[in-house]
């Protein structure tokens, strides 16, 4: 069996689906690897690092033609700019593994099914013990949480740590992280390392211990929440009444912060608005909001995806594709996730897509000319 990967064609995407450090996973699987020449250069991996591991170089068209399994970072659904060009190179019976935003890119799912491609979406990986090594969303969220703090520190007109100098004492910055998922916890840890006084808030009271273990203060709001997670471990959308009460309770907390980092996202839905323009205006001039959820509409009412907005002296950053800003380690982590997944799927040298397997059932979007994932079939009508 041959697995292939190519340069990512989506504008601004610097990651690559396979890093040299992850290739050892395939040593005993019998899988041969073929790659488009130069695929890893943008991420910091020259071709020689791959060929030294036995990877064969080819043109883009040759990789698509040779690969039984195509490994991508952004498959057509997650690449609206050039995904159609990749789709035209795919063939019936081919398997594609990558990020594809299947809960929103329904037309791409239909097109993959019509092409006869079996598509497995990395975003749909269930959060169960067996699949931990394959959880690409958590890996990329780790990168996003880290990078968001660096963006905030760069934009803030003050330093994060407390410093005692001959010129007097410099007070530490106050940072609030909203959402204590993987991205939020990494943001808390990074802000703490930089010396800030950090607080964390999440509607799930169960994460209080995790926030405090990182040296941050857990913010308690008098806002009751029902179950905030679905059975797969992902966030559930709450009702608008809950978000209204949450915004009211958060207003006083925000007014005390120098930096706010928001991370709340719900798969397949618009990100909830947690910070209104009025709430942002209560923050001191020079304060910074970094909205990690900008790609999904944003947690701040003022967020403009891909832009930095200034309102009442407060800067609101809406960064897109943060993992691509640190492509070397983002690619390493993603490659290990996708390699572990492919190794799991290969039995006796062949790809085995057994629908009764929980991991396959949750990630397989299209197969044998149809959309087979129950939730996506429902969304597709």
Active-site annotation, residues = 127, 132, 135, 138, 234
Query: Is the Cα dihedral 190, 127, 375, 369 positive or negative?
Result: positive
Q: Which residues of 225-250 are buried (b: 16+ CB within 10 A; e: fewer)?
A: eeebeeeeebbebbeeebbebbbeeb
Q: How far apart are the first and last CA of the chain?
A: 35
Task: Give the residue from 265, 25, 4, 10 showing the smallest Cα distance to 140.
Answer: 265
Distance CA 16, CA 7 (A): 7
Q: How far is residue 307's CA from residue 290's CA, in Å, rounded to a whole number? A: 11
Distance CA 290, CA 137 (A): 19
Phi, psi dihedrals of residue 172, rounded to the nearest 5°: -75, 155
Per-residue b/e over 329-350, b at no fewer than 16 CB within 10 Å?
Answer: bbbbbbbbbbbbbbbbbbeeee
Q: What is the 3-state secondary structure (H, E, C) of 302-342?
A: CCCCCCEEEECCEEEECCCCHHHHCHHHHHHHHHHHHHHHH
The residues near 188 (Cβ < 8 Å, ≥ 6 apart) are 145, 177, 180, 198, 200, 211, 214, 216
Contact 106, 380 (CB under 8 A): yes
β-strand partners of 315: 288, 310
Comparing CA positions, the residue from 140, 136, 6 lying closest to residue 69 is 6
Rounded-to-10 torsion of CA 115, 116, 118, 119:
20
């Amino acid at each position: 069996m041959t697995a292939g990967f190519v340069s990512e064609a989506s504008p601004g995407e610097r990651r690559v689906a396979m890093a040299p450090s992850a290739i050892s996973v395939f040593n005993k699987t019998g899988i041969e690897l073929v790659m488009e020449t130069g695929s890893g250069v943008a991420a910091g991996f020259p071709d020689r690092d791959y060929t030294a591991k036995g990877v064969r170089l080819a043109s883009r068209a040759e990789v698509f033609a040779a690969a039984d399994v195509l490994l991508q970072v952004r498959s057509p659904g997650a690449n609206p700019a050039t995904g159609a060009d990749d789709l035209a190179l795919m063939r019936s019976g081919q398997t594609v593994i990558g990020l594809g935003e299947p809960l929103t890119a329904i037309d791409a799912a239909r097109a993959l099914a019509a092409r006869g491609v079996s598509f497995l979406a990395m975003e749909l990986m269930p959060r169960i013990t067996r699949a931990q090594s394959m959880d690409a969303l958590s890996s990329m969220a780790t990168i996003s949480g880290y990078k968001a703090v660096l963006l905030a520190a760069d934009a803030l007109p003050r330093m994060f740590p407390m410093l005692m100098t001959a010129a007097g004492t410099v007070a530490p910055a106050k940072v609030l992280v909203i959402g204590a998922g993987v991205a939020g916890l990494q943001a808390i840890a990074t802000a703490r390392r930089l010396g800030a006084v950090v607080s964390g808030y999440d509607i799930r009271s169960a994460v209080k211990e995790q926030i405090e273990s990182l040296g941050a203060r857990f913010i308690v709001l008098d806002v009751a929440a029902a179950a905030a997670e679905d059975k797969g471990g992902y966030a559930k959308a709450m009702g608008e009444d809950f978000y209204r009460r949450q915004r009211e309770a958060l207003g006083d907390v925000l007014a005390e912060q120098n930096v706010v980092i928001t991370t709340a996202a719900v798969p397949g839905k618009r990100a909830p608005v947690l910070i209104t323009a009025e709430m942002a205006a209560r923050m001191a001039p020079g304060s910074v909001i970094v909205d990690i959820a900008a790609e999904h509409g944003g947690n701040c009412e003022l967020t403009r995806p891909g832009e930095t907005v200034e309102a009442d002296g407060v800067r609101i950053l809406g960064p897109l594709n943060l993992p691509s800003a640190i492509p070397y380690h983002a690619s390493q982590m993603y490659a290990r996730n996708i390699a572990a997944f492919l190794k799991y799927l290969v039995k006796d040298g062949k790809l085995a897509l057994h629908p009764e397997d929980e991991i396959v059932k949750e990630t397989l979007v299209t197969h044998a000319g149809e959309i087979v994932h129950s939730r996506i079939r429902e969304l597709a009508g």
